[in-house]
Amino acid sequence: MKIYLLKYLNYITFSLLLIILITIKIINPSFVKSISYLSFDVYQKIFVEDKKTDVIIVDIDEKSLGKFGQFPWNRNIFAKILDQLNISNPKAIGFDIFFTERDKQSPKAIIKSYNLVPSDLPGIQNLKDPDTIFSEKLKQSKSVIAVLGSNIASHTDYNRKAKSRFLSKGGNPKQFTYSYTYSIGSLEELEKNVKGLGSISFLDQLDGIVRSLPLVVKFDDKLYPAMGLEMIRVGSKQKNIYIELNETGINRINLRPYKIQTDPNAIIWIKYKKPSKNQYISASDVYEGNFSKGFFKDKYVLIGASAQGLFDLVKTPLGTTIPGVEVHANVIENILDQSYLIRNPNIYLFELLFSLFIALTTFVLSQNIKPKFSLSIFFGSVLIIIIIGLIFYKFRGELVDVSYPIFMVAVTFLAGLYFRFIKENKTALENLQKEAKLLKERELAAGVQKSLFPDISKFENFIYAKNVPARDVSGDYFDVVRSSKEEYFFALADVSGKGIKAGMYMAKASSIFRTLANLKYSLEKIVFGVNNELVEAKFKGMFVTAVFGKLNVVTGEMTFINAGHESILTFDENKNYDYIKSDMPPIGIIKYFTESMVKSNTINIKDRSLVVYTDGVTEGYLKNGQELGAEGVQNIINNISNISPKSIVDSIEKELNWGAEKLRDDITCMAINIKNTELIKKN
């Protein structure tokens, strides 16, 4: 029995492995879903189309914000835009915007805001409320306003009702739709005058990519159609939406003449077309009437925002980031031309059986053919899987998961190689020992590098800096050199690349800077020398972005050179921020022939604070997964009550170094404020 087990140990172990892989696929945890999404996204990237559209987006862009000022705008602006749109008689007009509060520029709001006495301003009381004007224009238009699902009650007790009427066959759709306890929408006065209310609720995805969307959702036990579906209903002058159900859930949604096949929860997978600027027109141009008379005729018009400051941007399977309003535009296009994607529940069983067959075939072949043909078997199996997936997508519009079968084939193939070449374990162990030795060497290099950073603790009342390496060895550095009682040289730099090579390059740059600063050369001569020494060092393909400075702590005068680095941030006591951009290329690229090639600037920071940081700060990840950015640095500073160089740097470092296993990049930051120039005495 023991001999039999040893003889077939590889097949027994493989069978157990296969059972585990199939079980994981059946359970379908979040990481397996993420693997599946990879193939779904690849399909769209391969077959993305650049096609004409019946949907036009009126864009609240930077140009419009520049014309009308900060958002939200006066409702009279939207009323005028509606007037302009209606000239061309569009199919429907949808607002991917909420109007949750009354217009702050209404007569009543102005009187209340400025504590005016109404009797003193009879003229202003006679002005028509912008909300009333906008409401009347909505009533005259084929308009749809957005609603959003929420699990938190809104501030109003308005009993919202859908404009669509739902008819069902085969069951109750409320049992299968995604549901929210509450809904968020616009003012009751506005909603009652529109032709439709459309949901703009997206499904949460682990990676933040919007791939699918529920065509019907339940808010407060009432069914609402998605924005795209509702606009088509309004545009086609239909009152009813028909829902067909079977034993598993929702099967199809009918909106004459369109029949839309969905999954059991009324979800469709969006097929994205290539983003086109021609689909957009600035809201300011519409307001001014800068378009042809028939431009919007028989078109579906969506009004939404692409402006960066309004934060309505989403990621798509195409690898692009688009305004959220464009997602709804794609949904409308998918329904109109019946090009939406299908994730058929029955295909899941096919994927399971196919994965089992292809994995078993790959393993058996890998055990019985010559090793030189192993890779051919693996890539052949992968190719077959990919071709099947592409055929289903191209000719049936169905999403077939090829990522997990490929994953299973890869695991199976590796298992086969393991059993066949088990004797190579000895070599693998030797390699691990070498890696352990290399790790110790890197740790030693990291310790040496840390010793190169200066001890500036006695200066921290007015100059404070910190470096947090992302790996063992940092490619960033900072330095402060006191050249006289009143003057200090400082530098903060970021070396291209990472690892030991970058650390060595940094060490050379740091030593040159400190040597020349101690000789009390001019700042231009120091940078001249550092640059030329780095060029001569011949670290191929490497360079340094840096800020060098010379500061007089008595007068506040600071001479600085920004060589291709992040903008220098300065702000006053009222936290008014300014950025000083780089006006020189990075150092270490080309040799300087004269000091005149080094361009310096001089400012006075006696009443200002200065912050310099590497891109590891602005591109560092917050806990929510977003990048900090320059605006994030400002937000951190705004939340500091007692501004000092140390409080600024420590607050930024705390926000980014929050416990992630590995930082995205080195965090290096320096802050200067000469309000208190007292040196700290060491014990």
How confident is the model over 639-657, as a mean pLDDT? 91
How confident is the model over 531-535, as a mean pLDDT? 90
pLDDT at 448: 56
Lowest-confidence range among 245-259, 445-459, 553-567, 621-635? 445-459
Query: Taking 50 as the threshold, does the pLDDT of residue 423 lie above it?
Result: no
Question: Average model confidence (pLDDT) for the chain?
Answer: 86
Q: First vs last Cα of the chain: how many Å apart?
A: 75
One DSSP character per residue, 139-205 reads HTTTEEEEEEEESS--S-------SSEEEEESS-GGGTSEEESEEE---HHHHTTSSEEEE-PPPP-
pLDDT tens-digit profile of 111-166? Answer: 666 565 555 556 565 667 888 999 999 999 999 999 999 888 877 778 889 999 99
Percent of residues, the chain, with pLDDT higher than 90: 50
**C-alpha 375: how far from chain center:** 37
Query: Taking 80 as the threshold, does the pLDDT of residue 545 lie above it?
Result: yes
227 against 449, higher pLDDT: 227
Rounded Cα distance between 204 and 315, Å, is 12
175 against 157, higher pLDDT: 175
505 against 136, higher pLDDT: 136
Lowest-confidence range among 57-61, 431-435, 486-490, 571-575? 431-435
β-strands 212-214, 267-269: how paired?
A: antiparallel
17 against 444, higher pLDDT: 17
- From the number of C-beta atoms within 10 Å of its C-beta (0-12, 13-18, 19+), residue 436 rates as exposed
Nearest residue to 544 via CA among 519, 522, 521, 512: 512
Query: Taking 70 as the threshold, does the pLDDT of residue 460 lie above it?
Result: yes
Cβ neighbours of 38 (radius 10 Å): 16
Query: Taking 70 as the threshold, does the pLDDT of residue 680 lie above it?
Result: yes
pLDDT tens-digit profile of 568-596? Answer: 999 999 999 999 999 899 998 899 999 98
Nearest residue to 158 via CA among 128, 184, 197: 184
pLDDT at 430: 64
Nearest residue to 671 via CA among 397, 540, 485, 478: 478
111 against 333, higher pLDDT: 333
pLDDT at 144: 96
Rounded Cα distance between 211 and 204, Å, is 10
pLDDT at 271: 94
Q: For the chain, what are the domain ranges?
A: 2-47+346-420, 55-336, 453-672
How confident is the model over 253-276, as a mean pLDDT? 92
How confident is the model over 1-24, as a mean pLDDT? 72
393 against 30, higher pLDDT: 393
28 against 210, higher pLDDT: 210
562 against 541, higher pLDDT: 562
The class of domain 453-672 in CATH terms is alpha beta
pLDDT at 6: 47
**pLDDT band with cut points at 50, 70 and 90 for residue 107:** low
DSSP E strand boundaries for 564-660: 568-572, 577-580, 601-604, 608-613
Query: Taking 80 as the threshold, does the pLDDT of residue 443 lie above it?
Result: no
